[in-house]
Structure 1
Amino acid sequence: MRRLLPQSIYARNVLTLMTGTTLAQAIPIAISPILTRLYSPEEFGRFALYMAVTMIASVLVTGRYELAILLPRQDRAALHIAALAITLSMVISAVLLLIVLFFAHPIAALLGDAALAPWLYWAPVSTLLVGVYQSLNYWSNRKAHYKRLAISRTVQSGSAAMAQLGSGYAGGGAAGLVAGQITGQVLATGVMARLIWREDHALIRALRPLRCLALGKRYINFPKYLIVAHGFNTASGQMPVLLLGALFSTSAAGFFTLTQRVMAAPMSLIASALGDVFRQEASQAYIQQGNCKAIYQRTFKRLLLISVAPFTTFFFVAPALFAWVFGEQWRVAGEYAQILTPMAFLQFITSPLSSMFMISEKQRLDLIWQVFLLFLVISSFMLGQLFSSAGDTLRLFSAAYCVAYGVNGLMTYHFARKCKNEKDKNIADYPRGL
């Protein structure tokens, strides 16, 4: 049996993360037919709005400092950055709570659902939990504790699912969906925190506020550029649904949403696991050698070999596959999937490697790329107005994304092979005197 298991550390790490991610995704998919009988479409829609507000706000709470946890040479410095990100999550979530207390009803009205207002009071709790969990997640990623990451993801998904089912059977109404989500976040964060404390309590007791502030200044480019960059990224991701609904029909937006959900599965399952391992190994190589060209090339080849056959097959069978799995009325979604396959293929290959922007501290260039991407998306839909077909518009959209991902791949490869300046190599984790 052991001979069938991967022998290399890299492959075992990827398999561990893939196992946790698969379980975390399989649980909500498995219970979806039950949840749809316990909650109404209106309740699901309201929950989706709540999650959208929460995830957008979550971009702000850590200042994106959690992305810098992998960079310092010393674990002590990295843990101070994690502490800074967690502290910011507490402070900014408290500010968000004040905003909700005064403006919950106007915000709900702006979102087009006045009944959402009572739910918004829980949004700061969710943003705090997301900020803390992400900080602990990146610390575990730095320490290469992939089993810990897999366990926490499974705990979050499983506990949220059970809580939502229990609340639904008890007649808890729409609040059960939010309560279930928060339950999952609390338990996953608690499990992660307990495991980290058990191993790193000595380092945690040695934390010093002044060092956190000094490192916040050292890595100021993360909040300076990435909050805006990731805001643009979110806009680029959400805009197709909004524009398809506005320019063509609600049905077109619905077909696109199903297409994205199906095509996102390999990204979140395989590519994200490879990306987590690449991020950890590449950051260490970059610190020690000044470049990570070999690791980049090895990961790129693996991604290419994994993806060519499945995406090629999917391109030819997508319409028939969607019609068979989801019903004949969803064949159009399969046609959209066929159009978007080249885009998804390049996304699968380049997205796991895009952490080179963070590893090489090229946040300003990441912001420029995100603006470039948003410009291409908007331009593709503006040109698409010349056509009467949503499919033709999506062809322009897919082509725009292909160009953007091609540029992204060239940039990250350049970062991986370019040695850091000697000046950069000698920068200490802490300014003098700390």
Structure 2
Amino acid sequence: MSLRQRFAQLAAASAISQALPMAMAPLLTRTFGAEVLGQWAWFAAIVASLAVVANARYEYAIPLPRRRGEAGALLSLSLALALVATLATALLAWALAALPGGALGGRWAQVGWLNDYAPALALAVGLLGLQQGLALWNNRHGRFAVIAQARVGQQVVMALAQLAAVAMGWLTAAALVGAQLLSLLLPPLWLWWRGQRVRLRSARTAVAARRRWRRVRALVWRYRQFPLVNSPHAFINGLQEAIALSLIATCAGLAAAGWYAVMVRLVKAPATLVGGALSEALLSRLAEDWREGRSLQPTLARAMRGLLLPAVGGAVLLALVGPALFGWALGADWTPAGEYARWMAPYVAAHFVCAPLTVAPMVTQRQTGALAFSLVGNALYVLALVVVLASGRPVTEALGAVSVVMPLYFAAYLAWLYRGAVPPSVVRI
């Protein structure tokens, strides 16, 4: 299957899975309100930041080995680590729930409600970990249709659960958290049942058990960059949104956090739609080219050129009619979210181009450099928010500061990515 076919298959599913939340957004914003949606977005951000390292990123090594047996061992390792992450998160949730009610004081008391939802973290993180491992196993075997079906099914269940909550009058953050948990049950089950078959072989002898253990240990060491370098990288990226939400909630209130969260989700929907599908399609293609000793620069250049025009067009649209568009689509109370989008337009465009290409360092084994860039980029994002919000300035100006510094960062990152996309075996002239 060509890269174009892989991308088209995943993009079609992503279009449906993104269309459903966007179609639900006007109902949710008019029914639940900004504060409730801010609470749910904060919970979801914490789940995402923990789940992204639930497999220690070993799932992204599954497409890389030549031998199927080694890939299967990496899958087993990834699923086992997801269960360990579930237990670890459960302990963390227990510790959070045990905090006294006044443990968070001052401004931070506004996010103290998270203690009530802490036990749901473990289940969400565990289910996402299982989904991630099985999705990359199916990615290796070209089962993109199954991956697409799982994603669409997840969003369908989410939308139905949210509609049920509205119909029953359960207009709380707990109802939205419950709908999210229900939606997370389907993907791992579907990927296991309908995806590439996984052969579970029992170790019938001590000798066989020792051989399998030695194989796993060898793979753990061979792909050690994934847990040691890529995991902190991914965690820091995921933590950025949680920190941003906490800063806005504590400095401007939960309503402002709700406007920001919904705005970010909607303006990044195209990047999630195109970028998510393109990055998965690129991963297997780039891994194949790298194994064969071919330069990745032509593929990366084509991807950049294809992403640039829609990125600029979307940014111009947000800058011109962002507030009016959000007010019309989500309700008059959500015009501030459109104002946030206007100030974030340059950042959104730069992120749209860069996000799908971040899989390249996993293939080229340059994850240490990618981690360094991630630390700088996330620090710049958070620092821009902190400096402006701490001075008492409005959220719009803080987002404007983000839009000044982050496009410069993304340009430097893409230049570094492109220069390192040539295998050592390729002779440079």
Q: Check whether TM > 0.5.
A: yes
Contact 2:82 2:130 in 1 (8 A): yes
Is 2:399 aligned against 1:394? yes
Which of 401, 406, 417 aligns to 2:411? It is 406
Mapped to 1, the partners of 2:267 and 2:146 lie a distance apart of: 27
Q: For 2:142, what is the secondary structure of its paired residue?
A: coil
Which of 45, 70, 75 aligns to 1:82? It is 75
Q: % of aligned pairs identical?
A: 25
User: For each residue in 1:326-367, what CA deviation from the matched residue of structure 2 results, as whole angstroms up to 9, or x when unmatched?
Assistant: 455644443432332222111111111111121112121121
| Structure 1 residue identity aligned to 2:126 | L
- Structure 1 partner of 2:89: 96
How far did 1:239 drift? 3.6
| Structure 2 residue identity aligned to 1:372 | V
How far did 1:411 drift? 1.4
- Structure 2 partner of 1:415: 420
How far did 1:86 drift? 0.7
Mapped to 2, the partners of 1:328 and 1:381 lie a distance apart of: 26
Mapped to 1, the partners of 2:342 and 2:162 lie a distance apart of: 35
Q: For 1:63, what is the secondary structure of its paired residue?
A: coil
Contact 1:130 1:185 in 2 (8 A): yes
Contact 1:57 1:127 in 2 (8 A): yes
- TM-score (norm: length of structure 2): 0.83
Mapped to 2, the partners of 1:215 and 1:144 lie a distance apart of: 22
Cα RMSD of the aligned pairs, angstroms, is: 3.3
User: For each residue in 1:70-110, what CA deviation from the matched residue of structure 2 results, as whole angstroms up to 9, or x when unmatched?
Assistant: 22223332222121111111123223324434552318865
| Structure 2 residue identity aligned to 1:222 | F
Q: For 1:61, what is the secondary structure of its paired residue?
A: coil
- Structure 2 partner of 1:180: 179
| Structure 1 residue identity aligned to 2:180 | Q
Is 2:6 aligned against 1:25? no
- Structure 2 partner of 1:106: 99
**Structure 2: stretches of 5+ with no match in the other structure:** 204-211
Q: For 1:181, what is the secondary structure of its paired residue?
A: helix
How far did 1:148 drift? 1.1
Is 2:360 aligned against 1:356? yes
- Structure 1 partner of 2:148: 150
1:257-272 matched pairs, under 5 angstroms: 257-272=261-276
- Structure 2 partner of 1:277: 281
Mapped to 2, the partners of 1:353 and 1:327 lie a distance apart of: 35
- Structure 1 partner of 2:329: 325
How far did 1:235 drift? 3.4
| Structure 1 residue identity aligned to 2:157 | S
- Structure 2 partner of 1:200: 197
| Structure 1 residue identity aligned to 2:65 | P
CA pair 164-77 structure 1, distance change in 2 beyond 3 A: same
Contact 1:164 1:177 in 2 (8 A): yes
- TM-score (norm: length of structure 1): 0.82
Q: For 1:106, what is the secondary structure of its paired residue?
A: coil
Higher relative contact order (CA 8 A, sep 6+): 2
Contact 1:319 1:334 in 2 (8 A): yes
- Structure 1 partner of 2:123: 125
**Structure 1: stretches of 5+ with no match in the other structure:** 1-7, 423-434
CA pair 87-169 structure 1, distance change in 2 beyond 3 A: same
Contact 1:387 1:393 in 2 (8 A): no
| Structure 1 residue identity aligned to 2:8 | L
